[in-house]
Amino acid sequence: MPVRPRRATSQDVANLAGVSRSAVSLVLNDRADGNIAPDTQATIRAAARALNYTPSSVAVSLRRQRTQTIGVVTDTIASTAYGGHILIGATEVATAHGYLLLTVDTHDNPAVETVAYERLHARQVDALAFAAMGTHEHDAGPLRDAGGPAIMINCFSADASVASVSPDERTGGRRAAQRLLDAGHHDILWLGGTLDVLAARERLQGYHDAMADAGIRARDPVIGGWNIDTAYEAALAILRRPDPPTAILAANDRAAVGVALAAARCGIDIPGDLSLIGYDDDENVAPVMVPPLTTMRLPHDELGRIGMRMLIDQLSGSAPSAPAQVVVDCELIERASVAPRSS
């Protein structure tokens, strides 16, 4: 194994260039303006390059009292996929502003959450984010107590004491139902989800809003869970009845797969005999389903991007003084699982 050479320091650069460390610092931080002779600057830059010098970020952090690091704690995102896009969006804008993310996943354990903030605080992160897998109300206490800039992504606090950004699931549910109504369907069934989940209640409420607006009686929703198997069973029972709906609004994309499986089993064609809309736009499911699934996209990348931008605004003092509660729209992705109602 080769011996790793000691990292070059600004002193090394100064020595090589024949100047003082101050000069090196000034030049490398672009503050040499009218202070240092142009050719001296060139010499210094050359020396830095020759030594492959990078300022020690820990020394800089100590001196500036800023680490250019943002701590983000997640409840279960790192563990369960999908949510990953929140992190992608967040990373994108953090990186653009020179921040790196220090991530810790709590596996949904509140005790771990508190410890996480403490560890992150000890690491002197400049700001803190909490990002949730599923939209829900979340206790802002630990985050607020940490002091300093903070943001909640894909969740929000009841008392609005911490800024947050989350999707508008209710309008999402309404629009999905509206799409089906516009295609001429009256007999639209809500299927899937569980009512302990806020997102399900909101989406379902949106569906009810749309039906009410259209003056059409809604069917009793079938609370068929979030997974393929549970939705399959629920759908099978419904589709075998004499009066199946002509359209189904699935609580999420995986439930939609269950519906598709049940329909295939019953010889029911999608979208010929049955229109179907999902929720999430899960990249591993919706675009590759048979047929490709029309679905409401959860704006995860955007949530991450917006949240991080709000956090950076706080860091730079340009955020509004009252914590903002931002809500972002869900977009309907049209594919091939919806057809006009056959007369």
Site string for a second copy, 211-230 (x = CB under 8 A): ----------------xxxx
List of residues 6+ apart from 37 with CB closer than 8 A: none
Q: In this structure, are residues 98 and 127 in contact, taking their beta carbons and an 8 Å threshold?
A: no
Specify whether the CB–CB gap between 190 and 256 falls below 8 A: no
How many residues interact with a second copy (rule CB under 8 A)? 57
Task: Give CA–CA dist 22/96, Å, rounded.
Answer: 28
247 binds DNA (CB under 7 A): no
Residue 91 interacting with a second copy (CB under 8 A):
yes
Backbone φ, ψ for residue 132 (5° rounding): -105, 150
- Using rule CB under 7 A, residue 64 touches DNA: yes
Beta strands 294-297 and 331-333 are antiparallel
Task: Please list every residue from 20 through 59 that binds DNA, using CB under 7 A.
Answer: 20-26, 28-29, 31, 34-37, 40, 53-56, 59
Q: State the Cα–Cα distance between residues 91 and 141, nearest whole angstrom.
A: 25
Q: Which stretch binds a second copy (CB under 8 A): 12-20, 113-121, 174-182, 192-200?
A: 113-121
CB of 4 to DNA, least distance (A): 13
| DSSP track, 323-334 | PPEEEE--EEE-
Helix (H, G, I), strand (E, B) or coil at 71: strand
Closer CB to DNA, 28 or 153, in the complex: 28
Q: Build a one-symbol-per-residue string for 43-72: x at contacts with a second copy by CB under 8 A, - elsewhere.
A: -----------xxxxxx-xx----x-----
Smallest Cα–Cα separation from 149: which of 306, 303, 313, 304?
Answer: 313
Structure tokens at 32: 């040499």
Of 13 and 289, which CB lies nearer to a second copy in the complex structure? 289
Nearer to a second copy, 223 or 261 (CB): 261
Q: Which amino acid is at 296?
A: M
Hey, what are 310's tokens? 């709000």
User: Would you tell me which residues interact with a second copy (CB under 8 A)?
Assistant: 1-2, 4, 54-59, 61-62, 67, 78-82, 84-85, 87-88, 91, 95, 100-105, 118-119, 121-124, 147-148, 227-230, 232, 254, 257-258, 260-261, 264-265, 283-285, 288-290, 292, 321
User: Would you tell me which residues interact with DNA (CB under 7 A)?
Assistant: 6-11, 19-26, 28-29, 31, 34-37, 40, 53-56, 59-60, 62-65
